[in-house]
Amino acid sequence: MGGDEFVILSPYPLDFKKATFKYELSIGDVPVTLDASIGEAAYPTDGDSLETLILVADDAMYIQKYT
């Protein structure tokens, strides 16, 4: 995982209605854009190890980010 990635573990199913967002704002006269992409993976459907789940979630995030 990179420095700008993190994992959320939840005992409950998560349902992301939107897996990407982009928010534009200004701080003083400086335009700032914040964006995020979310990839999800579920145990045991998508994998049975942490490493596999991270890979599946990472792939899902890139699909959301670039499509």
Per residue in 12-67, pLDDT tens? 877 766 678 899 999 999 999 999 888 889 899 999 999 999 999 999 888 888 87
> What is the total residue count of the chain?
67
- Is 54 contained in some domain? yes
- Is 10 contained in some domain? no
- CB-based contacts of 42-47 (< 8 A; 24+ apart in sequence): 42/13
Which residue range is the domain that position 61 belongs to?
20-66
- Is 15 contained in some domain? no
- Is 37 contained in some domain? yes
Q: What is the pLDDT of residue 7?
A: 83
Q: What is the pLDDT of residue 5?
A: 81
What pTM does this model have? Answer: 0.71
Q: Which two tokens stand for residue 20?
A: 């990407």
- Is 55 contained in some domain? yes
